[in-house]
Structure 1
């Protein structure tokens, strides 16, 4: 038995799908302790948009550490924080005409969601939050109440309250108006819907199965919220930082969220870091009202600033993401068309796409066979039925093609085995 078998809790998940010991990573490649290398189509579940150990980010962090830069400072002012905030304001917020202010929460995405929900309730004086089917927002109790997945909800051990679940775009079926129910209930004093403080949603639902909200749905949701004085919270923890082809996932829709949560790839290098952006008039916290020992990671300030300066000074990086997203769409659609007996459809947007299998069992076989070939790739969706491509955004077209070739070979092998069994 390994030390992991002896000492680590059974709650571990990814290690079960990828049962090797990794010991090195660079760019889009992982290496195990036996010398085999793997192409990373997981990217820390969206945490490594700029790849592993990006040299510019790594150099900036090493230089800061060697100069005895502040490693931990609670929420005190530091030069690292000032430099990050300046870059965030100048490179991201001002060009998008956003006046949001920043709150540094505990270092996890779920803590950012907790803070956003608490703030919405504090500002409005209302308790209810509207969340949507298949949404995933974290597994601490407040965020878990807004998360749809029953597997995660079942681990709570208590009542998950003060959230009303409504259908996401497309959930009732193609052509169905999923916001009609929301608006009708808001206008009916006997609907039983407590007027919400906010709606909380992902523009592209990552863990929920790569469901994409249309521009029209997002714009109508914003109109409903404005008419009824309801705050809009966009959870951009997985879909943000360029994953869909723009820095924020909501940009193509032109909506203006009141509150935005960010984490995962915000640090640029896999360092724990989470942030809440809010319109200035919503910043009604009393000092220390939502705090935490690790709110604001100074090492992450360094790498996050460098990531913004390296990748987001102009549109060239985002344009490359969009181009690779089109390549990904073409290849996945060809796989779906080739094996209609295995697949339902291609889902997602940008470099956050996947292929929905007809069952979770099929998806599991495909990802296992892909791993045997050297491709680290996971599943998503309510039944783990979506094979999800979430590779680093810095991947080259040649590397992306190689990974997709391995995925296609795994799919072909799966289809062949199922055909043999059927005959």
Structure 2
């Protein structure tokens, strides 16, 4: 570990909870340099929906690279880009009745969010953007301005303006009707709230603690945006590409956002790749007005096409994910019932789940115990109080059962250490 301590910045995070040097990975497992194998319920923070080194996607990638095909191209035309555009439209957009233009803003989710915010402001001529409590949209300045986490916001070092935070679904425990505050302020010229360019929302707040918005709440938000002529942006960076069941996490609610942000598992192989989808009439960019050196990573186009063809040309992936989600939910509910003083509840959708601990200090201890037993998980939530599960969608039922057994053992071990 000496090399990392001497040479790598103190900003490193995940490695502090997992003191191992990882070397190889396959499917739902990673192996460290000493040969110890770990079951992965982290999946690159949702980047590896199809598992590590997916063999079919790896074959496509190796064939592409061995042919001396284009790797770096900025936004030039390439055969790999054309294939991706055609297949994404045929497999994802057309079957869902979505007529979106596709922008390549840069390699990561925050690039997609930044492009969405800039586009909304350019199109509407307005400045402010409404976001929600406990939201997380990225670490660049525009994305931080619509992020709720105070520690991450303070890291900006400058004022973060032009953002307005409103209560997320059930933030006030049902004491106030949905959108009463926002709707009233938008209708009142004396409220001090300038008409925003857009509202940005996660249908499931991953970093915020696996907070799940109901379909009714999302439909109400979409209706509010329509009535007030405000653009609706869905940040599907972590919960898209099948994490909640459908390819897009907003499909269950039956809404059609004006702009959609995608990244993480979009490449299917863990390669950097992001896109921003926009209604056709919103595409008012001037050539080169928003650009970046790595906004057209051709190897990611190749593996993304493979993921679409292998997993999204039928209904199997969605049904399997929902069934596995029910398996996880049942097991987590059993853990919660067995430890009512330590676990406050269970929440999630698809294969994104959280075990909410009554004391925030318990969640990292549970993850630590799980690591010692060969399972990788992280915490989330404003106080790190949620044990967060994001296994690859390709994780088998047997692997899920084993991971859930480890979680039960870990909660039991932490509970016993607290009561001793």
Q: Judge same fold: TM > 0.5, yes or no.
A: yes
Counterpart CA distance in 2 for 1:210 and 1:380 is 8
Structure-2 residue corresponding to 1:170: 170
Structure-2 residue corresponding to 1:296: 296
Matches within 5 A, 1:181-200: 181-200=181-200
Question: Does the 8 A contact of 1:244 with 1:322 survive in 2?
Answer: yes
Counterpart CA distance in 2 for 1:176 and 1:409 is 39
Structure-1 residue corresponding to 2:95: 95
Structure-1 residue corresponding to 2:83: 83
Matches within 5 A, 1:34-49: 34-49=34-49
Q: Specify every segment of 5 or more residues in structure 2 that has no aligned partner in the other structure, as ranges.
A: none
Deviation at 1:156, TM superposition (A): 0.5
Structure-2 residue corresponding to 1:205: 205
Indicate whether 1:403 and 2:403 are aligned.
Answer: yes
Q: Show CA shifts across 1:26-72 (max 9, x none).
A: 00000000010000000000000000000010000000000011000
Counterpart CA distance in 1 for 2:112 and 2:360 is 31
Question: Does the 8 A contact of 1:324 with 1:351 survive in 2?
Answer: yes
Structure-2 residue corresponding to 1:25: 25
Secondary structure class of the residue paired with 1:360: coil
Counterpart CA distance in 2 for 1:407 and 1:220 is 36
Deviation at 1:178, TM superposition (A): 3.5
Counterpart CA distance in 2 for 1:100 and 1:190 is 36
Structure-2 residue corresponding to 1:136: 136
Structure-2 residue corresponding to 1:360: 360
Matches within 5 A, 1:14-413: 14-174=14-174, 176-413=176-413
Deviation at 1:304, TM superposition (A): 0.4
Structure-2 residue corresponding to 1:2: 2
Secondary structure class of the residue paired with 2:165: strand
Counterpart CA distance in 1 for 2:290 and 2:75 is 12
Deviation at 1:174, TM superposition (A): 3.2
Q: What is the RMSD of the two structures over their aligned residues, measured on CA atoms?
A: 0.7
Counterpart CA distance in 1 for 2:323 and 2:174 is 28
Counterpart CA distance in 2 for 1:47 and 1:110 is 14
Counterpart CA distance in 2 for 1:151 and 1:117 is 22
Runs of 4+ in 1 over 2 A off after TM superposition: none
Q: Show CA shifts across 1:317-345 (max 9, x none).
A: 11000000000000001100100110111
Deviation at 1:175, TM superposition (A): 5.1
Deviation at 1:176, TM superposition (A): 3.1
How many equivalent residue pairs?
A: 420
Counterpart CA distance in 1 for 2:412 and 2:293 is 50
Counterpart CA distance in 1 for 2:72 and 2:401 is 41
Q: Specify every segment of 5 or more residues in structure 1 that has no aligned partner in the other structure, as ranges.
A: none
Counterpart CA distance in 2 for 1:217 and 1:110 is 25
Q: Show CA shifts across 1:242-284 (max 9, x none).
A: 0001100000100010000000000001000010000000000
Deviation at 1:416, TM superposition (A): 1.4
Counterpart CA distance in 2 for 1:195 and 1:364 is 41
Question: Does the 8 A contact of 1:22 with 1:33 survive in 2?
Answer: yes
Question: Does the 8 A contact of 1:172 with 1:178 survive in 2?
Answer: no
Question: Does the 8 A contact of 1:129 with 1:197 survive in 2?
Answer: yes
Counterpart CA distance in 2 for 1:175 and 1:83 is 50
Counterpart CA distance in 1 for 2:32 and 2:367 is 18
Indicate whether 1:13 and 2:7 are aligned.
Answer: no
Counterpart CA distance in 2 for 1:198 and 1:379 is 30
Counterpart CA distance in 1 for 2:163 and 2:218 is 20
Secondary structure class of the residue paired with 1:355: strand
Secondary structure class of the residue paired with 1:234: strand
Secondary structure class of the residue paired with 1:57: helix
Secondary structure class of the residue paired with 2:416: helix
Deviating more after overlay: 91-100 vs 341-350: 341-350
TM norm structure 1: 0.98
Deviation at 1:419, TM superposition (A): 1.9
Question: Does the 8 A contact of 1:359 with 1:383 survive in 2?
Answer: no
